[in-house]
Structure 1
Amino acid sequence: MADSLASSVQAMDLDVPDVDTLIERCKTLHEEVEQYVTAVDVSQKQAKIPYQVEYRTLRSDFKNELGFLQKLKSANHPPEKARHYAVSSNLLYYEALWAAAKRSSGLLAFRKYFYWNRQRGQAKNGISFSKGSGVKGKTSALVDIVAADGMEWIRVSTTSEKRLLFDLAKLGWQNDSDSEMEDDAPTNWEDEDDEDQVEIVKSARELARAARANPMRGHAPKVRYVLTRLASGKLKEVDMILDKMRAVGMTVQCANDIPETPSVEEALPNLLVDRSRTLSNTLNIDCTILLALISDISHGECEILDWYPGEVRAQILEERKEKLLPTHLYPAIASHPMVTTQEAADQMNLIVDTLATDAEKRRANLLLAQRDRVGFSSADLLKEWQELSDHASPPNFQLPIIVAPAAIPSRVDTLPAAAKKMASELGPLNTAIFFYGWAEGLTTLSSNRARAKQIERFINDVGLKDGEAGPHVWLCGESRSLIAKCGRRK
């Protein structure tokens, strides 16, 4: 097989790139990425997401590539030398990467390494790997694009048929259609030695290991490998490699099944992180958001009094710079129906009865149509709600929030096994709130960062079975306390 592969390699010619053409292509690429970066910066400032999109490596790489090509042109090398340098350009790969990004959504990071063993010989999260996984101390995989809000990893390769056939010939592979696999050949890819594989197969296996060791919401991210210069169904040697890559559980996208790439203008709204895309129809409102919705701080200008606690002072100052309701909560809630648990409502009322101003008490009663607002129509609730605020509520803002009966034991019984272990750590109130949303398949809106992160860590550490989903939490970047009565003087 090695001789036939070498013959196939020799039959393929390498295209000679034109430097001027490369520069124009790279300029277009660089301009599109800068357009994306500008949009990300604006979006992150407005949405105040709890993490930053990691685009700096992408931006730097593209800028450096353009500088390299422009320097090459200005050097006025002889044609043969210029061609030699132009062949080393990474533009083809960067174009493929950016095209794959534009066909994706919810981009979080670019060209980022993920580890499965941070200390060689020790498996993370109790995961053990075969002999191939630790070759030459390699314990990380490069992900070109982290997409779908972290739930998808994309790797891009511009490996050509010529390069692949050359590598196969170098390895001396004999498992073509004329030779059967030996009876004792491994049936599991993890039982094979990675050193016997071509580079893209090694890479696929590294990605599979890293994905299992870095779960998102209890599941390994889906992995998609994009091969822009390899077609399936054309050469049996290529198809054999593709089968090996698919054996690790990833999606392999070849040149002949890559969908059309949209323009940057068409793609841009999808590329930005938009947490509202993943919200459930009905929203589960936790106690921290109930308090933020009724707080005087959220609804108008508040004077800072000398006896206010430091936390309240800080929130008033923050509100003056950036309004919580119109900027964060109202856009997320929009016209979604809302529900809260009896436990969350009771906790809110306990705090209201202890600390609230008269206006905050009225908003609490309007929010849940309780006490002296029982039986009020939605229209009447909304009219009075608006009278108590400087900010316009969303069109079709749905009041009241429905209160769901307390039922912690029955909720835990319907959830994955991980829930029972988690309940003891969260405490009764947070268990009631977050498990209700989990059991009902609802997004829980919360500003309780500590508990949200605790749940995320627990789910990822324990893991979920196939078909199971963890709780979905929309975490607000800011919280608001009640303004407080004089009795709160410190």
Structure 2
Amino acid sequence: MDLDAPDVDALIERCNTLHEEVEHYVTAVDASQKQAKIPCPVEYRTLRSDFKNELAFLNKLKSANHPPEKARHYAVSSNLLYYEALWAAAKRSSGLLAFRKYFYWNRQKGSRVNGVGLRKGAKQGKTSALVDIVAADGMEWIRVSTISEKRLLFDLAKLGWQNDSDSDEEMDVAPSTNWEDEDDDDQVEIVKNARELARAARANPMRGHAPRLRYVLTRITTGKLKEVDMVLDKMRAVGVDVQCANEIPDTPSLEEALPNLLVDRSRTLSETLNIDCTILLALISDISHGECEILDWYPGEVRAQILEERKEKLLPTHLYPAIASHPMVTTQEAADQMNLIVDTLATDKEKIRANLLLAQRDRQNVSPDELLKEWLALSDHPAPKGFQLPIRVEPSNIDKRIGGLPAVAKKLEAELGPLNTSIFFYGWSTGLTTLSSNRARAKQIERLINEMGLKDGEAGPHIWLCGESRSLIAKHGRRRF
């Protein structure tokens, strides 16, 4: 009889606890996403399904009424230890986006990774890496392993490593200066996995940089065995942060961790916000501030926005929570574009809001308190606590700023056009978050930066993308005769 084999009832109790926590988390994610309208929904289905299947397996094992010794034998094949380690690592993280997701570095089955030829170690048949947890809003990838030191030493022995004094000299030899010159087949599984993560991360950059990599080893201790430490060094050589059992911090309770686990884009906002033209228009639109009748001459886009607003209010649900009490700025070009549209299409109330928003024209010398008072009188929605008017208008000075931006800025300037360049480059160069509902331009910026990459220490523009836009309600000038 295997005295170390787990008791089935104990496993079921642990798995029930795990399953309940995950279901609680999923409920919170669904509620958060419904309210915040996150552009990329959290991919939790695999996690939920795996945990549910594990619980079903254990319950089936119990109901089979096997003799105790046989039941314990089957219980050894349970993946619960791994799932517990994965969930604990998740609770020590933040901004969870996906679980047990594969990322690819060679989708075309050719021999290049983002324009970089595959080296000797990367086998043609292997083109993906499993990431257990995509965290930090996509900026960190986490892999979890419950391999034991005993099993690792066994795997090393199979590869020809010797644990005796004759091998000390060989083991003290410095590792290859380039891990990609080594054959992956000569490495133990966790080293192979670390290298696969590095290749996939390089091919799937976030904001111009490969995601940070963390490998959690829950049953291995660093500084204990020379052979194990050499394996850990090989993993670190690819840029992975290796976290061993003696380095893992305490895991918080779900109640403590939950606010951090949810994707909250407001956590990364700059103190002052750069407001682009699309958000300026959304802030002054009649659609955003109250019930609007749909008239027969309204364009289809305006009709759709009015219907959407009836289902979900843009200001109290999306824009006001993000803006909160942050000071706001906008570029002169964005303000000029808004005013051009206002002068052409705006209703009387929209014109007043535009002047209040920027303290311009007949509201130029009005105090902030009076601006806010008038603003609230023209809206069905209360403003957030500390809401600051007016938005300060600043010259973009792009010609002076572009020289201090990464090289990709020149390419972007040619593609974005003067207005969008002034808006996004101003936020980029000053380190401000740009609030925008211009999804096409935001994706264009992301694509080019990821294609061209950024140097160490460089960062791309930080853009908070609103999932909805609002047009001006339109006066009779839009009527089609």
TM interval, short-chain normalised: over 0.9
Gaps of 5+ in 2: none
- Measure, in 1, the Cα distance between the counterparts of 2:160 and 2:297: 80
- Measure, in 2, the Cα distance between the counterparts of 1:105 and 1:267: 8
**Partner amino acid, structure 2, of 1:296:** D
**Do the aligned partners of 1:167 and 1:198 also contact (CA within 8 Å) in 2?**
yes
- Measure, in 1, the Cα distance between the counterparts of 2:404 and 2:367: 34
Match of 1:223 in 2: 213
Match of 1:10 in 2: none
The secondary structure found in structure 2 opposite 1:111 is strand
**Do the aligned partners of 1:127 and 1:213 also contact (CA within 8 Å) in 2?**
no
Match of 1:357 in 2: 347
Match of 2:116 in 1: 127
Write out per-residue CA displacement over residues 391-444 of structure 1, whole angstroms, 9 at most, x where no aligned residue: 000111110000011412112112111101111000110000000000000000
1:145 to 113, 128, 133: 133
Match of 1:449 in 2: 439
1:193 to 183, 186, 199: 183
TM alignment of 1:425-464, pairs within 5 A: 425-464=415-454
Q: CA deviation at 1:379?
A: 0.3
Match of 2:159 in 1: 171
Instruction: State the aligned residue count.
Output: 477
- Measure, in 1, the Cα distance between the counterparts of 2:57 and 2:318: 42
- Measure, in 2, the Cα distance between the counterparts of 1:191 and 1:428: 46
**Do the aligned partners of 1:55 and 1:109 also contact (CA within 8 Å) in 2?**
yes
Q: 1:22 to 1:184 in 2, by over 3 A?
A: closer
**Partner amino acid, structure 2, of 1:103:** R
Are residue 109 (structure 1) and residue 98 (structure 2) matched? Answer: yes
Match of 1:80 in 2: 69
- Measure, in 1, the Cα distance between the counterparts of 2:403 and 2:178: 36
Match of 1:316 in 2: 306
Gaps of 5+ in 1: 1-12
- Measure, in 1, the Cα distance between the counterparts of 2:60 and 2:123: 40
Match of 1:468 in 2: 458
**Partner amino acid, structure 1, of 2:415:** E
- Measure, in 2, the Cα distance between the counterparts of 1:93 and 1:422: 44
**TM-score (ref. length: structure 1):** 0.95
Are residue 202 (structure 1) and residue 192 (structure 2) matched? Answer: yes
Structure 1 runs of 4+ with >2 Å offset: 119-122, 174-177, 179-187
1:155 to 143, 147, 157: 143
2:223 to 228, 233, 236: 233
- Measure, in 1, the Cα distance between the counterparts of 2:278 and 2:56: 50
1:330 to 308, 320, 325: 320
**TM-score (ref. length: structure 2):** 0.97
Match of 1:482 in 2: 472
1:289 to 276, 279, 288: 279
Q: 1:363 to 1:44 in 2, by over 3 A?
A: same
Percent identity for Structure 1 against Structure 2: 84
2:256 to 260, 266, 272: 266
Are residue 398 (structure 1) and residue 388 (structure 2) matched? Answer: yes
**Do the aligned partners of 1:121 and 1:134 also contact (CA within 8 Å) in 2?**
no
1:417 to 400, 407, 420: 407
**Do the aligned partners of 1:110 and 1:143 also contact (CA within 8 Å) in 2?**
yes
- Measure, in 2, the Cα distance between the counterparts of 1:185 and 1:469: 32
**Do the aligned partners of 1:418 and 1:459 also contact (CA within 8 Å) in 2?**
yes
Write out per-residue CA displacement over residues 328-382 of structure 1, whole angstroms, 9 at most, x where no aligned residue: 0000000000000000000000000000000000000000000000111100100
**Partner amino acid, structure 1, of 2:225:** L
**Partner amino acid, structure 1, of 2:224:** K
**Do the aligned partners of 2:43 and 2:97 also contact (CA within 8 Å) in 1?**
yes
**Do the aligned partners of 1:175 and 1:181 also contact (CA within 8 Å) in 2?**
no
Write out per-residue CA displacement over residues 223-257 of structure 1, whole angstroms, 9 at most, x where no aligned residue: 00000000011111111111111111110000001
- Measure, in 1, the Cα distance between the counterparts of 2:15 and 2:367: 60
- Measure, in 1, the Cα distance between the counterparts of 2:330 and 2:185: 55
The secondary structure found in structure 2 opposite 1:134 is coil
**Do the aligned partners of 2:396 and 2:426 also contact (CA within 8 Å) in 1?**
no
Match of 2:367 in 1: 377
- Measure, in 1, the Cα distance between the counterparts of 2:168 and 2:123: 32
2:46 to 57, 60, 64: 57
- Measure, in 2, the Cα distance between the counterparts of 1:106 and 1:185: 35
Q: Tell me whether 74-83 or 361-370 shows the greater mean CA deviation.
A: 74-83
- Measure, in 1, the Cα distance between the counterparts of 2:357 and 2:377: 13
- Measure, in 2, the Cα distance between the counterparts of 1:116 and 1:406: 38
Q: Tell me whether 399-408 or 61-70 shows the greater mean CA deviation.
A: 399-408
Q: 1:249 to 1:184 in 2, by over 3 A?
A: closer
Q: 1:93 to 1:184 in 2, by over 3 A?
A: closer
- Measure, in 2, the Cα distance between the counterparts of 1:394 and 1:78: 64
**Do the aligned partners of 2:111 and 2:118 also contact (CA within 8 Å) in 1?**
no
Q: CA deviation at 1:128?
A: 2.1
The secondary structure found in structure 2 opposite 1:178 is helix
